[in-house]
A and B are shown apart, each in its own frame.
Chain A
């Protein structure tokens, strides 16, 4: 199964008469782009704002991030959600590399929404401070949700995907700067020397704690809560088979951008045939009931064992309750003789002295830490706020509280509320150490 990712590296973004990519500059016809946004009647008011790295800009509430892409051949983007349900992961996909569409609430935020600083110390926290952000700032008529702490953010999340696809269209017929090729043959096609290498699986535990539809991560448009763990070709993940949900404190979430740019999977693909024999991605979930956790862990182990896995990397989308699933999966693997590395964030408390994960096992002896959700951040006022800063305290953001916003506009918050900051897909260089 072969996927070609054609990259077009963006140097800058601006508005103009036509949406076009030329000499590194992405020009956007704002009216035309907004018409795509308004295709959904639920969007009542929308604007597009550009935020560049090092700009004095604070963006919040951010609901999802989507990479501007175009499916040139071999399928459709985000199948089963915004497009027809067809297999993902083959053919050619063009990408406006370095650019990112952020779905931003004009007013309303919530528990699951995040904050991005484009400069200052807050900008180290998250990979999204390093991208050219095309912020879709919008209001919707989902009024019943305005005062809910948990928001599905449906209209805005879908609008960001539509906008990203609209932008991606401008590079459909162009030649990319470079081509990344992801080609993982089926086991019977492997060369003998590859068959000798240690067999490795990647496990992606998607957020699926909410009972009602509309909050959880989606697999081919299907609520991850409703599935048993399943084996996926890595290309499917890198080509849009999985879309982010709208639940979990923001720093622990995996955005749609990060799913298609999962750096751990990309690195495993590069290692395939060199140091390892990469068997594929097991997509699992993080349901709340114990039996559901056990069932998923059992299935993960069975799939890995049936494939003959000797090594595994397990990635958890979230913290707290899902730590149980994470530790259970690692324990099952280690018991089955599969050497496992886990990648997750921690909640060590504001004084840093708490147990890092809710559940622990001595079998989890190889863990990568991507951040501490309870790290306190004090951030200076920012000249420009895209969205509404008030949402940090008013709407129940997981990293904010009454008093988070100071009189001078500076803020004090927990890392919990920084947008996709802990990047459990391995896309950032933050970690936790002992002092």
Chain B
């Protein structure tokens, strides 16, 4: 049988009301309050072995300490899942449930889940990190909210397939993955029906919600370009012949940097592109069309730019996910900042 540990605040843990909100975290065997309900719904597959109780004020005012104490209390326990709440609309309790679930997940690598009302501010704070089921506004919905969590966790621990956030009833975690429309419905029918709804001004729901777009403001111009160090960075996959760092030709997760000291241009045969997203013939014939080293040397000699930085940075931009691109961009930018590079020429294909 799998084992669960449950987290409650002082009120639901039956220690007391607001006067006991400074209650220091502690762990006890067995279940209290809503734990009875949880226990009934999890049996016989999962046993709730312990309950952690902590005062809401204690957690809110001494968060780091509370988390440390609770993690210590859990250290020598064996458990397969950690469950907290439901916290309904309670702000402090919601914060505690979210924070402790996140910490337990990171420390013990077990599934964690809680339940809150959509208006609880902790939903937005933690929904990308942990399962937060959409719950009612008050304890009146306890008998509905606890079984929803219990049913999900039973199936999850049994290794069964779980459905989308919407179908399961938890707040979306921002993870988009494939599934099959059940019963099967072709994209064609979904598209035409959505168009008919849109034409009729009926409600419809897009299958790809457009996320908030990160806009990076354009940097102010440099006052004295002839005193600045400029670097060349490319997502065009220009690498030394043979691709020494094994950068992937598509969906790249690696970048490389290559010394261009003393080179007036990128010579065909010594440099090549490994980018699989465009016709490489022109770039292989003359790699400078992707990374304009020849032109930059010309500007350097002319004194138009102060100095060309002696490393070329390369990755591949085709099929590369936005998250990987951001990570690589950050890593490269940090190196360039440390090297006092003040401008870059970023080329694609």
**Is A426's CB under 8 angstroms from B188's CB?**
yes
Interface of chain B, helix or strand or loop or mixed? loop
Return chain A residues, CB-CB under 8 Å to B162: 435
Tell me if A343 is interfacial: C-beta within 8 Å of chain B: yes
**Is B195's CB under 8 angstroms from A433's CB?**
no
Docked Cα-Cα span, A421 to B249, in Å, equals: 21
**Is B174's CB under 8 angstroms from A429's CB?**
no
Return chain B residues, CB-CB under 8 Å to A434: 164-166, 172-176, 209
Interface segment, one of A69-77, A230-238, A372-380: A372-380
Query: A431 touches which one: B196, B204, B207 (CB < 8 A)?
Result: B207
**Is B207's CB under 8 angstroms from A368's CB?**
yes
**Is B176's CB under 8 angstroms from A432's CB?**
yes
Interface segment, one of A11-19, A34-42, A53-61, A354-362: A354-362
Interface segment, one of B11-19, B43-51, B68-76, B320-328: B320-328
**Is A351's CB under 8 angstroms from B191's CB?**
no
Return chain B residues, CB-CB under 8 Å to A360: 210-211, 213
**Is B178's CB under 8 angstroms from A353's CB?**
no
B5 CB to closest chain A CB (Å) equals 24
Tell me if B154 is interfacial: C-beta within 8 Å of chain A: no
**Is A212's CB under 8 angstroms from B321's CB?**
no
B57 CB to closest chain A CB (Å) equals 34
Q: Which residue of chain A is the closest to B182 with respect to CB atoms?
A: A429
Interface segment, one of B26-34, B262-270, B271-279, B300-308: B271-279
Tell me if B315 is interfacial: C-beta within 8 Å of chain A: no
- Chain A 320-362: CB-based contact to B (< 8 A → 1; otherwise 0): 1100000000000000000111011011111111111110111
- Chain A 63-100: CB-based contact to B (< 8 A → 1; otherwise 0): 00000000000000000000000000000000000000
Tell me if B107 is interfacial: C-beta within 8 Å of chain A: no
**Is B175's CB under 8 angstroms from A210's CB?**
no
Tell me if A33 is interfacial: C-beta within 8 Å of chain B: no
**Is A267's CB under 8 angstroms from B189's CB?**
yes
B6 CB to closest chain A CB (Å) equals 24
Tell me if B261 is interfacial: C-beta within 8 Å of chain A: no
Docked Cα-Cα span, A416 to B173, in Å, equals: 24
B146-204, CB < 8 A from A: 162-167, 172-181, 184-192, 194-196, 198-199, 204
**Is B176's CB under 8 angstroms from A356's CB?**
yes
Tell me if A428 is interfacial: C-beta within 8 Å of chain B: yes
**Is A311's CB under 8 angstroms from B199's CB?**
yes
Docked Cα-Cα span, A367 to B209, in Å, equals: 8
B210 CB to closest chain A CB (Å) equals 5
Return chain B residues, CB-CB under 8 Å to A364: 208, 210
Return chain A residues, CB-CB under 8 Å to B196: 271, 275-276
Return chain B residues, CB-CB under 8 Å to A266: 188
B196 CB to closest chain A CB (Å) equals 6
Docked Cα-Cα span, A150 to B279, in Å, equals: 8
Tell me if B117 is interfacial: C-beta within 8 Å of chain A: no
B195 CB to closest chain A CB (Å) equals 4
Return chain B residues, CB-CB under 8 Å to A350: 321
Given A200-B195, A354-B322, A425-B188 in contact, is the A398-B250 Cβ separation under 8 Å?
Answer: yes
Return chain B residues, CB-CB under 8 Å to A312: 195
Interface of chain A, helix or strand or loop or mixed? loop
Tell me if A21 is interfacial: C-beta within 8 Å of chain B: no
Tell me if A46 is interfacial: C-beta within 8 Å of chain B: no
Q: Which residue of chain A is the closest to B167 with respect to CB atoms?
A: A433
Q: Which residue of chain B is the closest to A266 with respect to CB atoms?
A: B188
**Is B180's CB under 8 angstroms from A430's CB?**
yes
Docked Cα-Cα span, A361 to B178, in Å, equals: 22
A411-435, CB < 8 A from B: 414-416, 423-435
Docked Cα-Cα span, A221 to B167, in Å, equals: 46
A372-390, CB < 8 A from B: 372-375
**Is B176's CB under 8 angstroms from A212's CB?**
no
Tell me if A371 is interfacial: C-beta within 8 Å of chain B: yes
Query: B206 touches which one: A150, A355, A366 (CB < 8 A)?
Result: A366
Tell me if A209 is interfacial: C-beta within 8 Å of chain B: yes
- Chain A 287-325: CB-based contact to B (< 8 A → 1; otherwise 0): 010000000000000000000001111000001110000
Q: Which residue of chain A is the closest to B177 with respect to CB atoms?
A: A352
Return chain A residues, CB-CB under 8 Å to B208: 344, 346, 356-357, 364, 367-369, 432
Tell me if A124 is interfacial: C-beta within 8 Å of chain B: yes
- Chain A 148-167: CB-based contact to B (< 8 A → 1; otherwise 0): 01100000000000000000
Return chain A residues, CB-CB under 8 Å to B186: 263, 426-429
Return chain A residues, CB-CB under 8 Å to B286: none
**Is A343's CB under 8 angstroms from B191's CB?**
yes
**Is A339's CB under 8 angstroms from B322's CB?**
no
Return chain A residues, CB-CB under 8 Å to B277: 209, 320-321
Return chain A residues, CB-CB under 8 Å to B167: 433
**Is A430's CB under 8 angstroms from B199's CB?**
no
Q: Which residue of chain B is the closest to A110 with respect to CB atoms?
A: B276
Tell me if A190 is interfacial: C-beta within 8 Å of chain B: no
Given A434-B176, A435-B165 in contact, is the A149-B276 Cβ separation under 8 Å?
Answer: yes
Docked Cα-Cα span, A352 to B175, in Å, equals: 5
Q: Which residue of chain B is the closest to A398 with respect to CB atoms?
A: B250
B144 CB to closest chain A CB (Å) equals 22
Tell me if A211 is interfacial: C-beta within 8 Å of chain B: yes
Given A339-B198, A401-B248, A432-B208 in contact, is the A351-B187 Cβ separation under 8 Å?
Answer: no
Docked Cα-Cα span, A347 to B320, in Å, equals: 8
Tell me if A105 is interfacial: C-beta within 8 Å of chain B: no
Tell me if A6 is interfacial: C-beta within 8 Å of chain B: no
Docked Cα-Cα span, A366 to B207, in Å, equals: 7
**Is B279's CB under 8 angstroms from A347's CB?**
no
Tell me if A220 is interfacial: C-beta within 8 Å of chain B: no
Return chain A residues, CB-CB under 8 Å to B199: 198, 200, 276, 310-311, 339
B277 CB to closest chain A CB (Å) equals 6
Tell me if A249 is interfacial: C-beta within 8 Å of chain B: yes
**Is B279's CB under 8 angstroms from A211's CB?**
yes
Q: Which residue of chain A is the closest to B253 with respect to CB atoms?
A: A350
**Is B195's CB under 8 angstroms from A311's CB?**
yes
A251 CB to closest chain B CB (Å) equals 10
Return chain B residues, CB-CB under 8 Å to A425: 187-188
Tell me if B226 is interfacial: C-beta within 8 Å of chain A: no
**Is B211's CB under 8 angstroms from A371's CB?**
no
Tell me if A370 is interfacial: C-beta within 8 Å of chain B: yes
Docked Cα-Cα span, A175 to B321, in Å, equals: 52
Docked Cα-Cα span, A262 to B192, in Å, equals: 13
**Is A354's CB under 8 angstroms from B189's CB?**
no
Given contacts A264-B191, A349-B321, A360-B213, 9 further A-B contacts (CB under 8 A): A267-B192, A271-B192, A348-B177, A416-B319, A426-B187, A428-B186, A429-B180, A429-B186, A430-B187
8 nearest A-B pairs in the assembled complex, by CB-CB distance: A426-B188, A349-B321, A263-B188, A433-B164, A354-B321, A426-B187, A352-B175, A429-B184
9 contacts between A and B (CB under 8 A): A124-B180, A264-B188, A344-B208, A349-B322, A365-B206, A375-B177, A424-B187, A430-B178, A431-B187
Question: Chain B interface (Cβ within 8 Å of chain A)?
Answer: 162-167, 172-181, 184-192, 194-196, 198-199, 204, 206-211, 213, 248-251, 276-282, 318-319, 321-324, 349
